Structure 1
Amino acid sequence: MTTITGRQKAALLLMQLGKDRAARVMAQLDVTEMEELTSEILRLDRVDQSLADEVVDEFHAAAEIGPGLGGGLGFAQQLLEASVGKEQAAGMIERLQASMAGHSFDFLQQADARQVVSLLDGEHPQTTALVLAHLRPDHASAILAGLPEDLRADVAHRIALMERASPDVVAVVTEALQRKASAVLAPRELSAVGGVQPLVEIINRADPATEKSILEGLSARDEALADQVRALMFVFGDVVLLEDRAVQLVLRQVETGTLAQALKGSGPDVRDKILRNMSDRARENLVEEIELLGPVRLSQVEEARAAIVQVIRGLEESGQIVVRREGEDELVA
């Protein structure tokens, strides 16, 4: 038999059962299994008859087979509506389409950020925003930092206001960029975005200068939106919002020299929060290091603080600590 996965075989079999019988089978599955099978059905538009026969034989199932098997969006939507109802089916289809659209720009995921900046040169800011919203936040951040300064805030603003992207629009943009990429990027096998949170994740991974530039540009365009973004971001001063255990985990990954630079000019609440979560010896060494530093350039202080914030964000992403933003409810154990 042609090599296909078990999930693909199950999707093929469902497509041959007819809508009603397939719906009864789907109703016995949990939501995750339904979405996985529906995802496969969405990818199967027309299926070779001989392959369908092989699948039927393997499952020892009887089915009426027509001249060709119609899969695709229409069949998937009918099947889900019969299984879980029209409203829930619409939501599942929308999530699956968004997930599949996210793979449209896979050919850019491993490309050097400077190459992607070159590729996007001359594109409309909305196109650039659409692409960045589909990429990994760390990669999108590096690309955003490479854009001309007057363009960064415009693109950031568009990402924040973007709620949904039509799969057809994504397909058109992908096709156009793939053609253009052939002259910029090394050939590769190709295979609901946007909003404030994706923008925050992108800015969170930017260097301090890029972060400042983007936020200032956003403020000039939309002060309320800029305030919303700032409220969701974690900055060095927010260390006072961390639980003591979380602070201790962070300090284990930060060198004393970096910590000393970060604390230069910091408020007493931040300084006290850090010092009281250190051993007596470590506390003495840090205080001595701060005193020996003398005056420090502001850029060095900002760089040290950004490094510590990156450690905090990394621990949050890995689930080792919980970050509470200003104004959020207290955590209850």
Structure 2
Amino acid sequence: MTALAIRPPDSSLSSARKAAILCLSLGEEAATELFKHLDEEEVQILSKELALLPDVKSHVSDNVVEEFHQLLTARNYVTMGGVDYAKRLLLRSFGPEQAKRLTDKVMLSLETPASFETLQKTDPQQLAKLFQSEHPQTIAVVLAHLDTATASTVLQQLPESMRGDIVLRLAALQTVSQDVVKRIAHVLNQKLSAVSGMGRSNVGGVRAVADICNRLDRETMRLMLEQIEGGNPELSLEIRNLMVTFEDILLIDDVGIREIMQRVDKKVLALALKGTVEELQNRFFSNMSSRAVEMMKEEMDFMGQVKLKDVTGAQREIVEVMRLLDEQGVISLGGGGGADEYVS
């Protein structure tokens, strides 16, 4: 069978631009169906490209559709009969150069996620430390195979002097030999396994951040957590799970509340409850006698206007007691109350 005369793909077009041109060529109905299979970030990127897309000449559109057809054909060959089967059919259909390019590209999309699974799960800060001794081209290849959130976090952790070179190489990166990709993943995975504490299971740093957050005023804490969440939602959630806040009072049972009240000065408690929501106040009031509640409310009224930082300070003092009791097993911040169960 004679190899088909096919133009090489247009390297001047980005992958996103090609995807936009393909959507335009497929028509509205098919493009709508395609969008249903994309994640939110991909939809945003593709929508932006479609909005900015200039008039596309027919030969450019034809080439993009043809390239997509080639890749789809190559992928089908690989999944049906394996790499060797695909190579034989692609060689007969497209010639040696195009067959190799298509096979490499398809294999890259099919196999590299497993090769980089360990790296994907590794803490980005630790990856950045590992990468500082690697060649920029190696780093660019790895970042291309990590999800965008992880890749961006790793890039931010790298020295500023390295970032420009890596970004340029990443932008220029197209097809990489599957063997090269596998070798890079293998070597880096070996280096990771040789260094203790490189995985995500090390939560010492996260614990430290959670402790710092507990000592900040509420607004600063909120802004800090929002900033972290914007760059790394998983990390933000992990920090929140390790944190203790004054609002966690709602998670503690009556026995635990009474344990806290025994260890907190009444004036500190009155100041901490000043201006808080009724639900929080009632968690304490419901564990006090009517006379004690009356005296507490009088104390709060007598204070008049108080500085927000003083209220926050009093709440932090109670949070410290909560954290200590939780660590001792006297109370449980997981909603289970005290360490002991009681029956009447």
Q: What TM-score results when the alignment is normalised by the length of structure 2?
A: 0.37
Task: State TM-score, norm by structure 1.
Answer: 0.39
Q: Which has the larger radius of gyration?
A: 2
